[in-house]
Amino acid sequence: MKNICLFSFFLFSAIAYSQKDTPKIIVGIVVDQMCYDYLNRFNVNFSEQGFKKMIREGAHLTNMHYNYIPTYTGPGHASIYTGTTPDNHGIIANDWIQRETRTQVNCVGDASVSGISSSALYGKSSPKRLSKKTITDVLKETYPGSKVISVSIKDRGAILPGGHQSDGSYWFDYGNGTFITSSYYTNKLPCWLRKFNRKNNAMNRAQIWSPFLEDGAYSSEDDSPYEIILSGKSKPVFPYDIKNLCEVSGSLSPFTISPFANTLLTDLALEAIKKEKLGKDVSPDMLCISYSSPDIAGHAFGPDSKEIEDMYIRLDLELSRLIHYLEQSFGKSNFLMFLTADHGVVPVPQKLIDEGERGGYILIDQVINYLRSKCVSKFGDDYILGQDNLNIYLDYEKINNSTNNKEEILNFLSSNITYNNGIKQSATGDQLQKLVTNDTLLQMLAKGFDPKRSGDLLLILEHGYLPKTTLSAKPFKGTSHGSGYAYDTHVPCLWYGSNIKSTEIEQRLEIIDISSTLSHILRLKEGAETGKVIQGLIGQE
Ligand SMILES: [Zn+2]
């Protein structure tokens, strides 16, 4: 019965979606740090032409989840665009400890390339650590005339979606306030981008950030003890004079925490469509946009802040601007758009503590120092190389030069982990590779584990907990993400445009299904590795 259903689905979709229906342009939007519930919480203040239009006239997938740990930006973008999990594509975190060099490396860091039009510290980035093809790579292999352009504030937000064969992946340079690329792609920025940069330096775009709507329209309080106070401010409240804050701090970070960075990115995306002539010939082109500022602001102010509420009210207008442009230029039947997020976020744990909810902090340095001291007293030496992303790395070099045995050390450290203080579970790399279990969190940890890049002993925290490195003054402010709990895994997933039904799909889906579905829709020559084709999305009603 199942096979017949599957067959009839493919037959139906093949009829419904013939070659002539292939969209001229596909626009993939990733919002950095967007919890699923924002679609509901902020809905009342959204326009009719942005998120609400995608929900009303497109497909709304209400139960899309990440299926691995850790839920960070690098792994998120890589998994959306490769259709597989970090154990396969190798982007296990934003940064990790590289055993060979004994240093921390970045998921898109690449010392062998140089920045193009960049300032000194930015631009040494490429997709070399991404070990699988992206959907954008396969698009270019299927249709040799296809173009791929990818833009973001963060380098990893542009590089990982654009894949290995991108025609242009551009990200923000915190040193000079313009968009740059690296010598991996080209030795010169295109003329149109140099012109765009001359007109649109971040300092010229930084304004005063005041609430977009009148005060009564917001559900969140402006002043709370859980928000980080930006340098140059005495309270975490509106208005934010972004230009002045940049000058006071001597940095462009205040610009990237503001909605003005989203607007600048939309402008860049629209300029790229025009100047690269995307969607103008028979080969489908793809534009990837990753809005980073919701994440940068989310870390500082938390999901319950007025700043985040305003950020999303304004992001909705960016979306509406994009949809309007695409409809005017191509018509609804000729473009395909999807929107999702790279992860969600946990409410500020200090707020959870104060409100009597589950949550808190573990002092990760204390945990590691305790294990180091146990190791010294048992084996006469400290064999821990370091910790990153709750992965504990053993010092193989030191162990190999000693008479001690790696397995023995690992088992000893593992048996000395203290639970019920915020740490819920732990697993060694070997356990994860041989894993046969029904435990969902361990299965997710295994899907995020790469033996060459991950640690030897991995920790899972309790619900609502974050690791902290130092004990700063209470209350602790700001928040983060990375866990396998729904607040981090449950993200929006909206599809709109060419042949997409107006429908709501409640089935639980995994983030890796997005690329498989795109591959099916675009008739690409290779499907994504592990995802499934999402059913009920395309065709007439
Ligand atoms: Zn983040």
How do residues 438-483 score in pLDDT, each as one tens digit? 999 999 999 999 999 999 999 999 999 999 987 666 668 999 999 9
Contact in structure between 81 and 506 (CB atoms under 8 Å): no
| Beta-sheet pairing, 240-241 with 208-209 | antiparallel
Q: Per the domain annotation, does 538 fall within a domain?
A: no
Co-location of 327 and 364 in the same domain: no
Co-location of 464 and 495 in the same domain: no
Residue type, 351: K
Q: Per the domain annotation, does 407 fall within a domain?
A: yes
* 294 CA from centroid of ligand 1 (Å): 9
Co-location of 381 and 450 in the same domain: yes
* 74 CA from centroid of ligand 1 (Å): 10
Count CB atoms within 10 A of the CB of residue 129: 22
SS (H, E, C) 442-503: HHHHHHCCCCCCCCCEEEEECCCEEEECCCCCCCCCCCCCCCCCHHHHEECEEEEECCECCE
Q: Which two tokens stand for residue 442?
A: 């361990």
Co-location of 344 and 364 in the same domain: no
- Separation CA 205–CA 172 (nearest Å): 13
Residue ending a domain, choose from 406, 441, 468: 468
* 32 CA from centroid of ligand 1 (Å): 7
What CATH number is attached to the domain comprising 405? Answer: 3.30.1360.150
* 533 CA from centroid of ligand 1 (Å): 28
* 113 CA from centroid of ligand 1 (Å): 26
* 299 CA from centroid of ligand 1 (Å): 6
| Helix axis angle, 73-82 to 513-521, nearest 10° | 30
Q: Per the domain annotation, does 457 fall within a domain?
A: yes
Co-location of 283 and 422 in the same domain: no
Per residue in 8-44, pLDDT tens? 444 444 434 445 679 999 999 999 999 999 999 999 9
* 490 CA from centroid of ligand 1 (Å): 15
Q: Per the domain annotation, does 16 fall within a domain?
A: no
- Separation CA 78–CA 87 (nearest Å): 11
Q: Per the domain annotation, does 531 fall within a domain?
A: no
User: Residue 92 has what pLDDT?
Assistant: 98
Residue 197's Cβ-side half-sphere holds a number of Cα atoms within 13 Å equal to 19
- Separation CA 82–CA 451 (nearest Å): 19
Q: Per the domain annotation, does 427 fall within a domain?
A: yes
User: Residue 207 has what pLDDT?
Assistant: 96
User: Residue 5 has what pLDDT?
Assistant: 41
Burial 92-119 (b: 16+ CB within 10 A, else e): bbbebbebeeeeebbbbbbeebebbbbe
Alpha-carbon distances, residue 364 vs 187, 323, 360, 386, 421 (angstroms): 43, 44, 12, 11, 11
* 516 CA from centroid of ligand 1 (Å): 26
Q: Per the domain annotation, does 19 fall within a domain?
A: no
What CATH number is attached to the domain comprising 81? Answer: 3.40.720.10
User: Residue 229 has what pLDDT?
Assistant: 95
Residues of the chain with pLDDT under 70: 1-20, 471-475, 527-529, 540-541
Co-location of 171 and 277 in the same domain: yes
* 177 CA from centroid of ligand 1 (Å): 21
Q: Per the domain annotation, does 528 fall within a domain?
A: no
Co-location of 213 and 311 in the same domain: yes
Co-location of 161 and 38 in the same domain: yes
- Separation CA 104–CA 90 (nearest Å): 15
- E strand segments, 146-235: 148-152, 168-172, 179-182, 208-209
Co-location of 385 and 303 in the same domain: no
Co-location of 271 and 311 in the same domain: yes
Classified as helix, coil or strand, 361 is strand
Q: Which two tokens stand for residue 243?
A: 């230009």
User: Residue 212 has what pLDDT?
Assistant: 98
Contact in structure between 210 and 239 (CB atoms under 8 Å): yes
* 210 CA from centroid of ligand 1 (Å): 23
* 176 CA from centroid of ligand 1 (Å): 23
* 345 CA from centroid of ligand 1 (Å): 8
Number of folded domains that form the chain? 2
Cα Rg of the chain (Å, integer)? 23
Q: 451 is in which domain, residue-wise?
A: 360-468
Co-location of 136 and 186 in the same domain: yes
Co-location of 319 and 458 in the same domain: no
User: Residue 139 has what pLDDT?
Assistant: 97
- Separation CA 255–CA 177 (nearest Å): 9
* 33 CA from centroid of ligand 1 (Å): 6
DSSP for 303-359 reads TTSHHHHHHHHHHHHHHHHHHHHHHHHH-GGGEEEEEEES---PPPHHHHHHTT-S-
To the query of whether residue 73 is one of the catalytic residues in this protein, the response is yes
Residue ending a domain, choose from 468, 499, 533: 468
Choice among 22, 71, 73, 82 that is catalytic: 73
